[in-house]
Chains A and B, each alone.
Chain A
Amino acid sequence: MGVTSVALALSLTVAGCSGGFGAASKGGSDSINVLMVNNPQMVDLQKLTAEHFTKKTGIKVKFTVLPEDDLRDKMSQDFSSQAGQYDVASLSNYETPIYARNGWLAPLGERAAKDPQFDQKDILAPLRKSLTAADGKIYAEPFYGESSFLMYRKDLLKAAGLSMPKQPTWREVAKMAAKLDGYRKGLKGICLRGQPGWGQVIAPLSTVVNTFGGTWFTKDWKAKLDSPEFTRATQFYVDLVRQHGEAGAPQAGYTECLNNMQQGKVAMWYDATAGAGSLEGKDSKVAGKVGYAPAPVEKTPSSGWLYTWAWGVQKASTHQDAAWKFVRWASGKEYEQLVGRTLGWASVPGGKRASLYRNQQYLENSGAFAQATKQAISSARPDDAGVQPRPAPGIQFVGVPEFADLGTKVSHEVSSAIAGKQSVSEALKKSQRLAQEVADAYADR
């Protein structure tokens, strides 16, 4: 990945603006192009499409599957030029409102409302809300949703004479982590992400900041990263990881923590609800030993984040009807049943529909964490995540285009504080400057 490839990518973009350079073949009304992220659930979808969707509807689907970063880049290029190369793309709730405001997406709410079989009301309210743009219209339909909660080893807590409260606070969790740390040889108290990246360390840290009463920005665009609340939260997070957290924390992300938890190296893990499926999987050593508690809080009633991969339809797409047919199939109830029957209930893209949590077969296969997951997603409040009004929606992120870059830069500072290379106040002082630059651009508007 040198300078040349950046140059090449850019030159392709330029060509793309000047009239569909290298655009995929725009087949008849019976074929659509779908751009999606390379997560396992999406790969399953790709396998099932030909037999179950194309056979019924006659619509051919051409998939382009990419890793998250590449996907975001390709998507923003294609959608911003409205080249119409892709009819449907997988967006997260971070991009959806931003893309909608730029006028890149076709509204889906009305189509969904006219479609009783799709049953829009069945989709969990926080998800619906997080995919609704500022104009009140829904612009994407979720494929699966996730929140964050606390996973802990029931057997170890019991042995150490601890019990997990129904709604733990962060202080309680820190005390428990201290007690469990070293309780057995090589056991650490808790695993928290420390790897740089706006989708890595910043996600759990932001939920801690929210519930400690901090915020990235005030309603009138003042950066607040050096405020006492933000500092207290970050100091708490960094101290907890440094004192009782996993080894190698500055490079530990979701994957590393999952490994640590599965290997029995840590007693607790605060992370995405999606992790539970892997912990209860067939090849996991800790299956059946894990308990699930809501995300720890301090000043707010709940603190779990909200994330979803959802389907958006490009406004310039010339196959709006076919695109909608695909979206309603992929996000529909029948698809969940289909995956359960053919690939097993553990592979169902869950966390988005209330009806799935009334399905006996699903509950039997994921009883341990199903209700906790639904609870976590249902109690997430993307529009009101903290104790103060905010300029943009989002729990573990701030819903503005600049955040991906800002969050990543701040994450490097925090990560280096976790590594002990600098103090938390130093890290936040640098971060405050970066955040203020972003805020200034908005305050002027």
Chain B
Amino acid sequence: MPTQTAERTRPVEAVVPASGRQAARARRAQRTKDWARRAPLLPALVFLIIVTQLPFLATVVISFIRWNALAPDNRGFAAFDNYKAVFTDHAMRSSVLTTVLLTVTVVLVSLLLGLGLALLLDRGFRGRGIVRTLLITPFLVVPVASALLWKHALYNTSYGLLNGVLTWIWGLFGSDNPPQPDWMTDSPLAAVEVSLIWQWTPFMMLILLAGLQSRPTDAVEAARMDGASPFDIFRCLTLPHLRRYLELAALLGTIYVVQNFDAVFTITSGGLGTANLPYTIYQTFYQAHDYGRASAQGVIVVLCSLLVATFALRTVSSLLREEVTR
């Protein structure tokens, strides 16, 4: 109701009190009103705290305990031993580097590919709907299934599609000795990256396409009338408009790809220097059954992610503010 909103936006201090009691009553009324607004949100907030913060607290507690499931008699307070073990662990250090490499490569490449595809899909042509659906499909495939598909149907040296195509092409020129590269052995990390890029490009494309569709067309029309080349339009109009979408896509993509486990687990089993952080934690937890150390690893990863995410969110939140003030 309009009257209510008018009342609500008027600051409490603006009501000039005739007496102290009246002021108190006004304040009380205001507080009641505030709580009436907040109360319905409380259950959701409490639920959120229970399902996200309590497990994390438990993890923090366990990370200070010496606890290996297979050695039940040897349990106790470990102080910082687990953290010491994590920081001196060579596998952990190399997996940090792997995670950074993997994430940055996958996010950047799929962002560029997604941008290209989004620009192509932004124009009207026959069959656009079908093409768009087909392009989105990789994102809908179950991650484990897509990893298996890449491992067996594409990369495999003896019965994979990639080497089959090479054989076929060489066969066209009458050679029966085609090169048969061993994709997953020669470039294991790239093999994992390519399968992930295939999966995440549609996601980037979707976000950027949404951005392109919300572009005001009159400015582009005007630029075209003024004789700007398509490249100029892209550089001076499209890209600045897309900036926030690019940043959002990169941020979301990073959050998801950092956590990737399926591709590493399935394609290379973490071998040949492809073990990323989630895989290393999995190994500590499921192979070594060392709950204490796995928790310490988890806590460290969360802290590092928080650091990175804070900076990333800061850039994005400035954009969000921009959005609101517009």
Report A's interface with B, CB cutoff 8 A: 1-4, 6-11, 13-14, 69-70, 72-73, 76-77, 80, 98, 102, 185-186, 195-198, 200, 246-251, 256, 259-260, 263, 265, 401-402, 404-405, 408-409, 411-412, 415-416, 419-421
Indicate which residue in A6, A11, A14 contacts B285 across the interface (CB closer than 8 Å): A6
B269 and A251 within 8 A (CB): yes
Chain B nearest Cβ from A405, distance in angstroms: 3
Report the tally of A-B residue pairs with Cβ distances under 8 A: 147
Instruction: From known contacts A14-B62, A198-B287, A260-B158, infer whether A6 and B269 are also in contact, taking CB-CB under 8 Å.
Output: no
Chain B nearest Cβ from A191, distance in angstroms: 10
Determine the residue in chain B with the shortest Cβ distance to A99. Answer: B70
C-alpha spacing A102/B71, complex, angstroms: 8
B55 and A195 within 8 A (CB): no
B270 and A1 within 8 A (CB): no
Chain B nearest Cβ from A373, distance in angstroms: 27
B69 CB contacts on chain A under 8 angstroms: 76-77, 80
Within 8 A of A (CB), among B67-117: 68-73, 91
> Which label, helix, strand, loop or mixed, suits the secondary structure of the A interface?
helix
B158 and A246 within 8 A (CB): yes
Interface residue? B238 (CB, 8 A): no
Chain B nearest Cβ from A100, distance in angstroms: 13
B72 and A102 within 8 A (CB): yes
Could you say which interface size class chain B belongs to?
Answer: 35 or more
Within 8 A of A (CB), among B28-79: 52, 54-56, 58-59, 61-62, 68-73
Report B's interface with A, CB cutoff 8 A: 52, 54-56, 58-59, 61-62, 68-73, 91, 151, 155-159, 176, 180, 182, 184-185, 188, 259, 261-262, 267-273, 275, 278, 281-291, 294-295, 298, 301-302, 305
B59 and A6 within 8 A (CB): yes
B158 and A10 within 8 A (CB): no
Q: List 17 A-B contacts (CB under 8 A).
A: A3-B259, A7-B59, A10-B59, A10-B291, A14-B62, A73-B286, A73-B289, A102-B73, A196-B269, A248-B155, A248-B182, A250-B272, A251-B269, A405-B289, A408-B283, A412-B270, A421-B273
Chain B nearest Cβ from A38, distance in angstroms: 15
A1 and B278 within 8 A (CB): yes
> Which label, helix, strand, loop or mixed, suits the secondary structure of the B interface?
helix
Chain B nearest Cβ from A382, distance in angstroms: 19
Indicate which residue in B52, B286, B295 contacts A4 across the interface (CB closer than 8 Å): B52
Closest 5 CB pairs of A and B: A401-B70, A405-B288, A247-B157, A11-B58, A196-B271
Chain A nearest Cβ from B58, distance in angstroms: 4
Determine the residue in chain B with the shortest Cβ distance to A13. Answer: B291
Chain A nearest Cβ from B136, distance in angstroms: 24
A401 and B259 within 8 A (CB): no
Chain B nearest Cβ from A238, distance in angstroms: 13
B55 and A416 within 8 A (CB): no
C-alpha spacing A73/B284, complex, angstroms: 11
A401 and B271 within 8 A (CB): no
B185 and A249 within 8 A (CB): yes
B295 and A247 within 8 A (CB): no
A416 and B71 within 8 A (CB): no
B272 and A419 within 8 A (CB): yes
Beyond A6-B281, A250-B271, 17 extra complex contacts between A and B, CB < 8 Å: A2-B261, A2-B278, A4-B55, A11-B55, A11-B59, A76-B69, A248-B158, A251-B185, A251-B271, A256-B156, A402-B288, A405-B288, A405-B290, A408-B287, A409-B91, A415-B271, A415-B272
Instruction: From known contacts A73-B285, A248-B185, A402-B288, infer whether A8 and B180 are also in contact, taking CB-CB under 8 Å.
Output: no
